[in-house]
Amino acid sequence: MPRPRKRPAGAAEPDKKGPAGKRTKTKNSGEASTKVKNSSPQTSTSENCGKNLSKYWLMKSEPESRLEKGVDVKFSIEDLKAQPKQIAGWDGVRNYQIVKEAYPDHTQFEKSNPYYDPSSKEDNPKWSMVDVQFVRMMKRFIPLAELKTHHQAHKATGGPLKTMALFTQQRLSVQPLTQEEFDFVLSLEEKEPS
């Protein structure tokens, strides 16, 4: 979950040229949009990162209090919006698809952190972190069930959500979206819930 944490010493600053991608939240606080801040100078845009890197991401948030190893991991879109410059580090992410846009997740080394991993070493970290930035709230909440309904229909008709990672891969807190999927999800805010 995103946290207002300082980047560890030696970590690259986010690229000031702009986002490496965008994310929309749809589960729980699904009425929000955020963007990934590129944190590696070698990857100024996602097009330069390799053909498999997505520009758009779907993020899960924790808008309600939930204890993980005794720590409340609540972090909603409102929490992100309230951060300085509306940017926070997304820690505890265990998705290797984002590694090209990431820097080492320092929480894996903090024994008091819910994402502490005793098997990870500072000279060879297992987990990565990205910075996310608030872009805007969506006009309406788009629940997971609504996306699933569209996914099922699109599997039969060949629509944009036919192969959406949210439904075809292991459930992750951060998942890639294609341009077509991203545009479709954003278009749902203008429509009545199905």
Distance CA 187, CA 56 (A): 15
Task: Tell me what pLDDT residue 93 has.
Answer: 65
Task: Tell me what pLDDT residue 102 has.
Answer: 80
**Category of 125 on φ-ψ map: left (φ > 0), alpha (ψ -120 to 50) or beta:** beta
pLDDT less than 70: residues of the chain: 1-54, 92-100, 171-172
